[in-house]
Structure 1
Amino acid sequence: MTAHQTGCLWVVATPIGHRDDISARAIETLRNVSVIAAEDTRHSRPLMLQLNISTPLIALHEHNEREAVAAIVRRLQDGESVALISDAGTPLVSDPGFRLVRAAREAGIRCAPVPGACAAIAALSVAGLPSDRFVFEGFLPPKSAARRSRLQELAGDARTLIFYESSHRVVESLTDMRDVFGGERPGVVARELTKMFETVLGEPLAELVERVTSDPNQQRGEFVILVAGRGEHEDDQLAEGRRVFTILRQELPAAKAAKLAAAITGAPRKALYEG
Protein backbone atom coordinates (compact mmCIF):
# COMPACT_ATOMS: atom_id res chain seq x y z
CA MET A 1 0.00 0.00 0.00
CA THR A 2 1.21 3.49 -0.77
CA ALA A 3 0.54 6.53 1.42
CA HIS A 4 -2.13 5.95 4.05
CA GLN A 5 -5.52 7.07 2.77
CA THR A 6 -8.42 8.20 4.94
CA GLY A 7 -12.09 8.03 4.14
CA CYS A 8 -11.64 4.82 2.16
CA LEU A 9 -13.42 1.49 2.52
CA TRP A 10 -10.88 -1.27 1.95
CA VAL A 11 -12.41 -4.64 1.03
CA VAL A 12 -9.76 -7.08 2.23
CA ALA A 13 -9.54 -10.79 1.43
CA THR A 14 -8.32 -13.07 4.23
CA PRO A 15 -7.23 -16.74 4.08
CA ILE A 16 -9.77 -19.50 3.51
CA GLY A 17 -7.66 -21.93 5.51
CA HIS A 18 -3.89 -21.67 5.40
CA ARG A 19 -3.02 -18.49 7.27
CA ASP A 20 0.11 -17.86 5.23
CA ASP A 21 -2.10 -17.06 2.24
CA ILE A 22 -2.76 -13.52 3.43
CA SER A 23 -0.86 -10.90 1.43
CA ALA A 24 1.63 -8.37 2.75
CA ARG A 25 -0.61 -5.61 1.39
CA ALA A 26 -3.60 -6.99 3.29
CA ILE A 27 -1.62 -7.05 6.54
CA GLU A 28 -0.41 -3.48 6.05
CA THR A 29 -3.93 -2.28 5.22
CA LEU A 30 -5.42 -3.96 8.29
CA ARG A 31 -2.77 -2.38 10.50
CA ASN A 32 -3.28 1.12 9.12
CA VAL A 33 -7.06 1.50 8.98
CA SER A 34 -9.01 3.08 11.83
CA VAL A 35 -11.26 0.08 12.37
CA ILE A 36 -11.92 -3.37 10.92
CA ALA A 37 -15.52 -4.43 10.21
CA ALA A 38 -15.54 -8.22 10.67
CA GLU A 39 -18.27 -10.78 10.03
CA ASP A 40 -17.51 -12.42 13.41
CA THR A 41 -15.07 -10.58 15.68
CA ARG A 42 -14.50 -13.72 17.76
CA HIS A 43 -13.47 -15.64 14.66
CA SER A 44 -11.22 -12.89 13.25
CA ARG A 45 -9.49 -11.86 16.49
CA PRO A 46 -7.11 -14.88 16.63
CA LEU A 47 -5.93 -14.13 13.07
CA MET A 48 -5.35 -10.48 13.97
CA LEU A 49 -3.37 -11.47 17.06
CA GLN A 50 -1.24 -13.89 15.06
CA LEU A 51 -0.47 -11.13 12.54
CA ASN A 52 0.27 -8.60 15.30
CA ILE A 53 -2.63 -6.39 14.20
CA SER A 54 -4.09 -4.31 17.03
CA THR A 55 -6.69 -2.39 15.02
CA PRO A 56 -10.11 -2.35 16.76
CA LEU A 57 -12.73 -4.78 15.45
CA ILE A 58 -16.44 -4.07 15.04
CA ALA A 59 -19.12 -6.54 13.96
CA LEU A 60 -20.82 -6.46 10.57
CA HIS A 61 -22.89 -9.57 9.91
CA GLU A 62 -26.19 -10.54 8.32
CA HIS A 63 -28.16 -9.82 11.50
CA ASN A 64 -26.89 -6.27 12.10
CA GLU A 65 -25.81 -5.17 8.63
CA ARG A 66 -28.67 -2.73 8.02
CA GLU A 67 -28.07 -0.92 11.32
CA ALA A 68 -24.26 -1.06 11.25
CA VAL A 69 -23.93 0.30 7.71
CA ALA A 70 -25.12 3.81 8.60
CA ALA A 71 -22.65 4.09 11.49
CA ILE A 72 -19.73 2.87 9.37
CA VAL A 73 -20.58 5.24 6.52
CA ARG A 74 -20.60 8.14 9.00
CA ARG A 75 -17.12 7.15 10.16
CA LEU A 76 -15.93 7.05 6.56
CA GLN A 77 -17.47 10.45 5.90
CA ASP A 78 -15.64 11.80 8.97
CA GLY A 79 -12.35 10.81 7.37
CA GLU A 80 -11.74 7.45 9.02
CA SER A 81 -10.56 4.46 7.00
CA VAL A 82 -12.34 1.15 7.39
CA ALA A 83 -11.39 -2.39 6.33
CA LEU A 84 -14.12 -4.93 5.60
CA ILE A 85 -13.29 -8.60 6.12
CA SER A 86 -15.32 -11.82 6.26
CA ASP A 87 -14.65 -14.97 8.26
CA ALA A 88 -12.65 -16.33 5.34
CA GLY A 89 -11.88 -15.41 1.75
CA THR A 90 -13.12 -12.43 -0.22
CA PRO A 91 -15.91 -10.39 1.41
CA LEU A 92 -19.35 -10.27 -0.29
CA VAL A 93 -18.87 -13.68 -1.96
CA SER A 94 -21.71 -15.47 -0.12
CA ASP A 95 -20.83 -13.25 2.85
CA PRO A 96 -22.16 -9.94 4.25
CA GLY A 97 -20.93 -6.58 2.99
CA PHE A 98 -22.98 -5.78 -0.10
CA ARG A 99 -25.10 -3.15 1.65
CA LEU A 100 -22.03 -1.45 3.10
CA VAL A 101 -20.20 -1.25 -0.22
CA ARG A 102 -23.31 0.03 -2.00
CA ALA A 103 -23.99 2.65 0.69
CA ALA A 104 -20.36 3.80 0.67
CA ARG A 105 -20.31 4.17 -3.10
CA GLU A 106 -23.62 6.04 -3.07
CA ALA A 107 -22.09 8.39 -0.48
CA GLY A 108 -19.17 9.09 -2.81
CA ILE A 109 -16.68 7.19 -0.67
CA ARG A 110 -13.82 5.37 -2.36
CA CYS A 111 -14.04 1.56 -2.15
CA ALA A 112 -10.77 -0.24 -2.86
CA PRO A 113 -10.16 -4.00 -3.14
CA VAL A 114 -7.24 -5.80 -1.55
CA PRO A 115 -7.47 -9.12 -3.45
CA GLY A 116 -6.70 -12.54 -2.10
CA ALA A 117 -8.18 -15.95 -1.47
CA CYS A 118 -11.61 -16.99 -2.75
CA ALA A 119 -12.77 -20.58 -2.33
CA ALA A 120 -14.78 -20.60 -5.58
CA ILE A 121 -11.85 -19.43 -7.71
CA ALA A 122 -9.36 -21.65 -5.85
CA ALA A 123 -11.55 -24.68 -6.57
CA LEU A 124 -12.02 -23.72 -10.22
CA SER A 125 -8.26 -23.40 -10.67
CA VAL A 126 -7.68 -27.08 -9.81
CA ALA A 127 -10.95 -28.65 -11.02
CA GLY A 128 -9.89 -29.42 -14.56
CA LEU A 129 -13.23 -28.14 -15.87
CA PRO A 130 -13.60 -25.39 -18.48
CA SER A 131 -12.77 -22.07 -16.82
CA ASP A 132 -13.25 -19.61 -19.68
CA ARG A 133 -16.92 -19.22 -18.78
CA PHE A 134 -18.42 -20.07 -15.40
CA VAL A 135 -21.24 -19.02 -13.07
CA PHE A 136 -21.11 -18.82 -9.28
CA GLU A 137 -24.40 -19.91 -7.71
CA GLY A 138 -23.42 -19.76 -4.03
CA PHE A 139 -25.54 -21.92 -1.73
CA LEU A 140 -28.49 -23.79 -3.20
CA PRO A 141 -31.87 -23.73 -1.37
CA PRO A 142 -31.85 -26.01 1.69
CA LYS A 143 -35.11 -27.82 0.85
CA SER A 144 -34.98 -30.49 -1.84
CA ALA A 145 -37.93 -29.31 -3.93
CA ALA A 146 -36.59 -25.77 -4.21
CA ARG A 147 -33.06 -27.05 -4.78
CA ARG A 148 -34.14 -29.34 -7.63
CA SER A 149 -36.15 -26.54 -9.16
CA ARG A 150 -33.10 -24.28 -9.24
CA LEU A 151 -30.94 -27.07 -10.67
CA GLN A 152 -33.50 -27.67 -13.41
CA GLU A 153 -33.18 -24.02 -14.39
CA LEU A 154 -29.41 -24.53 -14.69
CA ALA A 155 -29.50 -27.88 -16.50
CA GLY A 156 -29.07 -26.35 -19.95
CA ASP A 157 -26.36 -23.84 -18.99
CA ALA A 158 -23.15 -24.38 -20.98
CA ARG A 159 -20.97 -22.67 -18.38
CA THR A 160 -19.16 -24.45 -15.55
CA LEU A 161 -21.38 -24.25 -12.46
CA ILE A 162 -19.89 -23.44 -9.03
CA PHE A 163 -21.73 -23.99 -5.74
CA TYR A 164 -20.94 -23.73 -2.05
CA GLU A 165 -22.38 -26.40 0.23
CA SER A 166 -22.37 -27.33 3.90
CA SER A 167 -21.33 -30.68 5.32
CA HIS A 168 -24.84 -31.71 6.40
CA ARG A 169 -26.30 -31.20 2.91
CA VAL A 170 -23.47 -32.20 0.58
CA VAL A 171 -24.81 -35.72 -0.08
CA GLU A 172 -28.35 -34.46 -0.72
CA SER A 173 -27.14 -31.74 -3.09
CA LEU A 174 -24.88 -34.10 -5.03
CA THR A 175 -27.73 -36.59 -5.33
CA ASP A 176 -30.05 -33.92 -6.70
CA MET A 177 -27.36 -32.79 -9.15
CA ARG A 178 -26.95 -36.36 -10.37
CA ASP A 179 -30.69 -36.77 -10.83
CA VAL A 180 -31.18 -33.45 -12.62
CA PHE A 181 -27.99 -33.18 -14.70
CA GLY A 182 -27.48 -36.89 -15.32
CA GLY A 183 -25.03 -39.27 -13.71
CA GLU A 184 -22.46 -38.99 -16.49
CA ARG A 185 -22.07 -35.18 -16.17
CA PRO A 186 -18.51 -34.40 -14.89
CA GLY A 187 -18.35 -32.95 -11.40
CA VAL A 188 -15.75 -31.98 -8.80
CA VAL A 189 -15.99 -31.83 -5.02
CA ALA A 190 -13.32 -29.59 -3.47
CA ARG A 191 -13.26 -29.99 0.31
CA GLU A 192 -11.36 -28.07 3.00
CA LEU A 193 -9.25 -26.14 0.49
CA THR A 194 -5.80 -25.08 1.78
CA LYS A 195 -6.43 -26.94 5.04
CA MET A 196 -4.90 -30.12 6.45
CA PHE A 197 -7.54 -32.49 5.06
CA GLU A 198 -7.93 -30.88 1.63
CA THR A 199 -9.30 -33.20 -1.05
CA VAL A 200 -10.34 -32.56 -4.65
CA LEU A 201 -12.40 -35.36 -6.21
CA GLY A 202 -13.25 -35.25 -9.91
CA GLU A 203 -15.58 -37.91 -11.32
CA PRO A 204 -18.95 -38.23 -13.06
CA LEU A 205 -21.73 -37.16 -10.73
CA ALA A 206 -23.03 -40.70 -10.26
CA GLU A 207 -19.62 -41.85 -9.03
CA LEU A 208 -19.17 -38.75 -6.87
CA VAL A 209 -22.44 -39.47 -5.08
CA GLU A 210 -21.35 -43.03 -4.34
CA ARG A 211 -17.89 -42.00 -3.19
CA VAL A 212 -18.99 -39.20 -0.87
CA THR A 213 -21.91 -41.21 0.49
CA SER A 214 -19.70 -44.19 1.33
CA ASP A 215 -16.92 -42.17 3.01
CA PRO A 216 -17.91 -40.17 6.14
CA ASN A 217 -14.61 -38.28 5.97
CA GLN A 218 -15.70 -36.80 2.64
CA GLN A 219 -18.79 -35.38 4.34
CA ARG A 220 -16.85 -33.20 6.78
CA GLY A 221 -15.69 -29.62 6.36
CA GLU A 222 -16.46 -26.87 3.87
CA PHE A 223 -17.29 -27.68 0.25
CA VAL A 224 -17.13 -26.21 -3.21
CA ILE A 225 -18.99 -28.29 -5.80
CA LEU A 226 -18.34 -27.71 -9.49
CA VAL A 227 -20.31 -29.23 -12.35
CA ALA A 228 -19.42 -29.11 -16.03
CA GLY A 229 -21.81 -27.13 -18.16
CA ARG A 230 -24.02 -28.87 -20.64
CA GLY A 231 -21.77 -30.01 -23.47
CA GLU A 232 -22.50 -30.04 -27.16
CA HIS A 233 -22.52 -33.83 -27.00
CA GLU A 234 -25.62 -33.88 -24.82
CA ASP A 235 -28.65 -34.46 -26.96
CA ASP A 236 -31.45 -31.90 -26.69
CA GLN A 237 -34.06 -34.60 -26.57
CA LEU A 238 -32.27 -36.48 -23.81
CA ALA A 239 -31.78 -33.30 -21.78
CA GLU A 240 -35.49 -32.50 -22.04
CA GLY A 241 -36.31 -36.08 -21.13
CA ARG A 242 -34.22 -35.82 -17.98
CA ARG A 243 -35.86 -32.54 -17.05
CA VAL A 244 -39.33 -34.08 -17.35
CA PHE A 245 -38.21 -37.27 -15.58
CA THR A 246 -36.92 -35.23 -12.62
CA ILE A 247 -40.26 -33.48 -12.25
CA LEU A 248 -42.27 -36.70 -12.50
CA ARG A 249 -39.90 -38.55 -10.17
CA GLN A 250 -41.01 -36.33 -7.29
CA GLU A 251 -44.48 -37.92 -7.47
CA LEU A 252 -43.95 -41.30 -9.15
CA PRO A 253 -41.70 -44.38 -8.88
CA ALA A 254 -38.57 -44.12 -11.02
CA ALA A 255 -39.64 -46.73 -13.57
CA LYS A 256 -43.04 -45.15 -14.18
CA ALA A 257 -41.55 -41.63 -14.27
CA ALA A 258 -39.00 -42.76 -16.88
CA LYS A 259 -41.70 -44.42 -18.99
CA LEU A 260 -43.88 -41.30 -19.01
CA ALA A 261 -40.94 -38.93 -19.62
CA ALA A 262 -39.84 -41.07 -22.56
CA ALA A 263 -43.36 -41.03 -23.99
CA ILE A 264 -43.62 -37.27 -23.62
CA THR A 265 -40.20 -36.32 -25.00
CA GLY A 266 -39.12 -39.26 -27.12
CA ALA A 267 -35.92 -39.70 -25.10
CA PRO A 268 -34.70 -43.27 -24.51
CA ARG A 269 -36.39 -44.67 -21.37
CA LYS A 270 -33.31 -46.65 -20.33
CA ALA A 271 -31.08 -43.59 -20.48
CA LEU A 272 -33.53 -41.63 -18.31
CA TYR A 273 -33.88 -44.40 -15.75
CA GLU A 274 -30.16 -45.09 -15.50
CA GLY A 275 -29.11 -41.39 -15.68
Structure 2
Amino acid sequence: MSDNQNLLAGQRRALILDEVRRRGGARVSELTRLLQVSDMTVRRDLDVLAREGALQKVHGGAVPVSEGLTHEPGFEAKSGLETSAKNDIAAAAAALASPGSAVALSGGTTTFAVARRLLEVPGLTVVTNSVRVADVFHTAAAGPEPAAGGTTVVLTGGVRTPSDALVGPVADAAISSLHFDLLFLGAHGISVEAGLSTPNLAEAETNRHFIRSARRLVVVADHTKWGKTGLSSFASLEEADTLVTDGGLPASARQQLAELVPELIVAPASAG
Protein backbone atom coordinates (compact mmCIF):
# COMPACT_ATOMS: atom_id res chain seq x y z
CA MET A 1 0.00 0.00 0.00
CA SER A 2 1.29 3.48 -0.88
CA ASP A 3 2.24 5.86 1.92
CA ASN A 4 -0.20 8.38 0.41
CA GLN A 5 -3.10 6.05 1.13
CA ASN A 6 -2.35 6.35 4.83
CA LEU A 7 -2.28 10.15 4.86
CA LEU A 8 -4.68 12.03 7.11
CA ALA A 9 -7.23 14.15 5.30
CA GLY A 10 -5.47 17.38 6.26
CA GLN A 11 -2.13 16.11 4.97
CA ARG A 12 -3.71 14.92 1.73
CA ARG A 13 -5.38 18.30 1.16
CA ALA A 14 -2.11 20.10 1.83
CA LEU A 15 -0.48 17.98 -0.90
CA ILE A 16 -3.33 18.78 -3.28
CA LEU A 17 -3.03 22.48 -2.57
CA ASP A 18 0.74 22.41 -3.05
CA GLU A 19 0.33 20.62 -6.39
CA VAL A 20 -2.33 23.05 -7.63
CA ARG A 21 -0.26 26.07 -6.67
CA ARG A 22 3.02 24.69 -7.96
CA ARG A 23 1.64 23.76 -11.39
CA GLY A 24 -1.00 26.46 -11.68
CA GLY A 25 -3.75 23.85 -11.69
CA ALA A 26 -4.38 20.11 -11.58
CA ARG A 27 -6.92 17.65 -12.94
CA VAL A 28 -8.80 15.19 -10.72
CA SER A 29 -7.30 12.27 -12.67
CA GLU A 30 -3.77 13.58 -12.06
CA LEU A 31 -4.43 13.98 -8.33
CA THR A 32 -5.87 10.48 -7.99
CA ARG A 33 -2.70 9.03 -9.55
CA LEU A 34 -0.45 11.22 -7.41
CA LEU A 35 -2.20 10.38 -4.14
CA GLN A 36 -3.33 6.87 -5.11
CA VAL A 37 -6.81 7.45 -3.75
CA SER A 38 -10.23 7.33 -5.35
CA ASP A 39 -11.74 9.91 -7.65
CA MET A 40 -14.48 10.51 -5.04
CA THR A 41 -11.92 11.18 -2.29
CA VAL A 42 -10.14 13.80 -4.40
CA ARG A 43 -13.43 15.50 -5.31
CA ARG A 44 -14.43 15.66 -1.64
CA ASP A 45 -11.05 17.18 -0.79
CA LEU A 46 -11.44 19.75 -3.55
CA ASP A 47 -14.90 20.65 -2.21
CA VAL A 48 -13.44 21.28 1.26
CA LEU A 49 -10.54 23.35 -0.06
CA ALA A 50 -12.87 25.38 -2.28
CA ARG A 51 -15.19 26.15 0.67
CA GLU A 52 -12.15 27.34 2.66
CA GLY A 53 -11.17 29.63 -0.21
CA ALA A 54 -7.85 27.85 -0.71
CA LEU A 55 -8.45 27.01 -4.39
CA GLN A 56 -11.06 27.33 -7.14
CA LYS A 57 -12.82 24.30 -8.58
CA VAL A 58 -13.13 24.09 -12.36
CA HIS A 59 -14.50 21.39 -14.65
CA GLY A 60 -12.37 18.30 -14.12
CA GLY A 61 -10.02 19.77 -11.53
CA ALA A 62 -8.92 22.92 -9.71
CA VAL A 63 -6.83 26.06 -10.14
CA PRO A 64 -5.30 28.49 -7.63
CA VAL A 65 -7.53 31.26 -6.37
CA SER A 66 -6.90 34.65 -7.83
CA GLU A 67 -5.71 36.36 -4.66
CA GLY A 68 -6.55 40.02 -4.30
CA LEU A 69 -5.03 42.32 -1.72
CA THR A 70 -7.89 41.56 0.68
CA HIS A 71 -7.88 37.77 0.26
CA GLU A 72 -7.40 36.16 3.70
CA PRO A 73 -7.26 32.34 3.78
CA GLY A 74 -8.40 30.61 6.95
CA PHE A 75 -6.13 29.00 9.53
CA GLU A 76 -6.93 25.46 8.37
CA ALA A 77 -6.18 26.31 4.75
CA LYS A 78 -2.73 27.62 5.72
CA SER A 79 -1.82 25.11 8.41
CA GLY A 80 -0.87 22.33 6.00
CA LEU A 81 1.39 24.52 3.85
CA GLU A 82 5.19 24.61 4.22
CA THR A 83 4.99 22.65 7.47
CA SER A 84 8.65 21.59 7.45
CA ALA A 85 9.80 25.15 6.82
CA LYS A 86 7.58 26.48 9.60
CA ASN A 87 8.89 23.90 12.04
CA ASP A 88 12.49 24.79 11.16
CA ILE A 89 11.72 28.49 11.61
CA ALA A 90 10.00 27.79 14.92
CA ALA A 91 13.01 25.93 16.31
CA ALA A 92 15.38 28.76 15.41
CA ALA A 93 13.02 31.48 16.65
CA ALA A 94 12.18 29.84 20.00
CA ALA A 95 15.90 29.67 20.79
CA LEU A 96 15.82 33.48 21.04
CA ALA A 97 13.46 33.40 24.05
CA SER A 98 15.05 33.55 27.50
CA PRO A 99 13.57 31.73 30.52
CA GLY A 100 11.39 34.00 32.63
CA SER A 101 10.82 36.60 29.93
CA ALA A 102 7.60 38.24 28.72
CA VAL A 103 6.88 37.04 25.19
CA ALA A 104 4.12 38.06 22.78
CA LEU A 105 2.92 36.09 19.77
CA SER A 106 0.65 37.34 17.01
CA GLY A 107 -1.79 35.17 15.09
CA GLY A 108 -0.73 32.85 12.27
CA THR A 109 0.39 29.32 11.53
CA THR A 110 4.10 30.10 11.87
CA THR A 111 3.68 31.69 15.30
CA PHE A 112 1.57 28.65 16.18
CA ALA A 113 4.61 26.49 15.39
CA VAL A 114 6.79 28.80 17.50
CA ALA A 115 4.36 28.43 20.43
CA ARG A 116 4.83 24.66 20.45
CA ARG A 117 8.59 25.16 20.70
CA LEU A 118 8.20 27.68 23.51
CA LEU A 119 6.68 24.95 25.68
CA GLU A 120 10.29 23.96 26.36
CA VAL A 121 11.25 27.40 27.75
CA PRO A 122 10.55 27.72 31.51
CA GLY A 123 8.86 30.58 33.32
CA LEU A 124 7.49 32.50 30.36
CA THR A 125 4.68 35.01 30.48
CA VAL A 126 2.97 34.69 27.09
CA VAL A 127 0.60 37.31 25.69
CA THR A 128 -1.19 36.49 22.45
CA ASN A 129 -4.16 37.50 20.35
CA SER A 130 -4.20 34.05 18.75
CA VAL A 131 -6.81 31.56 19.93
CA ARG A 132 -4.72 28.73 18.46
CA VAL A 133 -1.53 29.84 20.22
CA ALA A 134 -3.33 30.11 23.56
CA ASP A 135 -4.73 26.61 23.06
CA VAL A 136 -1.17 25.25 22.64
CA PHE A 137 -0.26 26.34 26.17
CA HIS A 138 -3.62 25.53 27.77
CA THR A 139 -3.62 22.03 26.28
CA ALA A 140 -0.06 21.44 27.45
CA ALA A 141 -0.91 22.64 30.97
CA ALA A 142 -3.81 20.19 31.16
CA GLY A 143 -1.84 17.27 29.73
CA PRO A 144 0.41 14.67 31.33
CA GLU A 145 3.53 16.67 30.35
CA PRO A 146 2.83 20.34 31.20
CA ALA A 147 4.87 23.20 29.74
CA ALA A 148 8.23 23.86 31.37
CA GLY A 149 8.32 25.91 34.54
CA GLY A 150 4.85 27.40 34.99
CA THR A 151 4.02 29.39 31.88
CA THR A 152 1.46 32.19 32.35
CA VAL A 153 -0.77 32.82 29.33
CA VAL A 154 -2.79 35.96 28.62
CA LEU A 155 -5.25 35.91 25.70
CA THR A 156 -6.47 39.30 24.55
CA GLY A 157 -10.11 39.84 23.73
CA GLY A 158 -11.27 41.08 20.37
CA VAL A 159 -13.03 40.15 17.15
CA ARG A 160 -11.96 36.87 15.57
CA THR A 161 -10.43 36.87 12.06
CA PRO A 162 -10.33 33.96 9.56
CA SER A 163 -6.79 33.28 10.87
CA ASP A 164 -8.20 32.86 14.41
CA ALA A 165 -6.55 36.06 15.61
CA LEU A 166 -8.38 38.49 17.91
CA VAL A 167 -8.24 42.07 16.68
CA GLY A 168 -9.96 45.43 17.11
CA PRO A 169 -10.22 48.02 19.91
CA VAL A 170 -10.43 45.50 22.76
CA ALA A 171 -7.29 43.67 21.64
CA ASP A 172 -5.49 46.97 20.94
CA ALA A 173 -6.26 48.36 24.40
CA ALA A 174 -5.07 45.19 26.14
CA ILE A 175 -1.81 45.07 24.18
CA SER A 176 -1.11 48.80 24.63
CA SER A 177 -1.19 48.44 28.42
CA LEU A 178 1.53 45.76 28.43
CA HIS A 179 5.25 45.52 27.66
CA PHE A 180 7.13 42.57 26.14
CA ASP A 181 10.76 41.52 26.02
CA LEU A 182 10.19 39.75 22.74
CA LEU A 183 7.50 39.73 20.05
CA PHE A 184 7.14 36.92 17.52
CA LEU A 185 5.18 38.35 14.63
CA GLY A 186 3.92 36.66 11.49
CA ALA A 187 3.01 38.36 8.21
CA HIS A 188 0.86 37.60 5.19
CA GLY A 189 3.39 39.24 2.90
CA ILE A 190 6.92 40.65 2.95
CA SER A 191 8.43 42.96 0.36
CA VAL A 192 10.95 45.77 0.14
CA GLU A 193 8.28 48.20 -1.06
CA ALA A 194 5.39 47.31 1.28
CA GLY A 195 7.32 45.92 4.23
CA LEU A 196 5.18 43.64 6.39
CA SER A 197 1.54 43.49 5.33
CA THR A 198 -1.77 41.75 5.94
CA PRO A 199 -5.10 41.66 4.06
CA ASN A 200 -6.97 42.54 7.29
CA LEU A 201 -7.11 46.24 8.24
CA ALA A 202 -7.97 45.58 11.89
CA GLU A 203 -5.20 43.02 12.22
CA ALA A 204 -2.71 45.53 10.82
CA GLU A 205 -3.62 48.00 13.57
CA THR A 206 -3.38 45.33 16.28
CA ASN A 207 0.04 44.34 14.96
CA ARG A 208 1.16 47.98 15.21
CA HIS A 209 0.18 47.98 18.89
CA PHE A 210 2.17 44.77 19.41
CA ILE A 211 5.25 46.34 17.80
CA ARG A 212 5.04 49.50 19.92
CA SER A 213 4.87 47.41 23.11
CA ALA A 214 7.86 45.17 22.34
CA ARG A 215 11.55 45.70 23.07
CA ARG A 216 12.55 43.31 20.29
CA LEU A 217 10.63 42.38 17.15
CA VAL A 218 11.26 38.96 15.62
CA VAL A 219 9.44 38.38 12.34
CA VAL A 220 8.83 34.72 11.48
CA ALA A 221 7.92 34.00 7.86
CA ASP A 222 8.63 31.22 5.39
CA HIS A 223 10.00 31.88 1.91
CA THR A 224 6.57 31.87 0.23
CA LYS A 225 5.72 35.18 1.94
CA TRP A 226 8.49 36.98 0.04
CA GLY A 227 7.12 39.27 -2.67
CA LYS A 228 3.53 39.07 -1.42
CA THR A 229 1.58 42.18 -0.47
CA GLY A 230 -1.62 42.47 1.57
CA LEU A 231 -4.02 45.39 1.71
CA SER A 232 -2.41 47.10 4.70
CA SER A 233 1.24 47.51 5.67
CA PHE A 234 1.89 47.53 9.42
CA ALA A 235 5.70 47.83 9.59
CA SER A 236 8.71 48.51 7.42
CA LEU A 237 11.43 45.90 7.17
CA GLU A 238 13.79 48.24 9.03
CA GLU A 239 11.54 48.05 12.11
CA ALA A 240 12.29 44.35 12.55
CA ASP A 241 15.23 43.47 14.79
CA THR A 242 15.38 39.89 13.51
CA LEU A 243 13.76 38.03 10.63
CA VAL A 244 13.70 34.23 10.78
CA THR A 245 12.98 32.40 7.53
CA ASP A 246 13.85 29.09 5.85
CA GLY A 247 16.34 27.89 3.26
CA GLY A 248 13.84 28.20 0.44
CA LEU A 249 14.34 31.97 0.34
CA PRO A 250 16.21 32.92 -2.86
CA ALA A 251 19.75 34.30 -2.58
CA SER A 252 18.67 37.62 -4.12
CA ALA A 253 15.99 38.05 -1.45
CA ARG A 254 18.47 37.20 1.30
CA GLN A 255 20.80 39.89 0.04
CA GLN A 256 18.02 42.50 0.00
CA LEU A 257 16.84 41.56 3.47
CA ALA A 258 20.36 41.53 4.90
CA GLU A 259 20.69 45.17 3.87
CA LEU A 260 17.48 46.18 5.65
CA VAL A 261 17.08 43.90 8.68
CA PRO A 262 19.75 43.99 11.43
CA GLU A 263 19.68 40.20 11.84
CA LEU A 264 18.59 37.66 9.22
CA ILE A 265 18.39 34.05 10.42
CA VAL A 266 17.96 31.32 7.81
CA ALA A 267 16.84 28.31 9.83
CA PRO A 268 18.69 25.09 9.05
CA ALA A 269 16.55 22.27 7.72
CA SER A 270 15.81 19.61 10.30
CA ALA A 271 17.05 16.09 9.70
CA GLY A 272 14.57 14.19 7.56
Pick the TM interval, shorter chain: 0.3 to 0.5
Give the TM-score, by structure 2 length: 0.34
Give the TM-score, by structure 1 length: 0.33
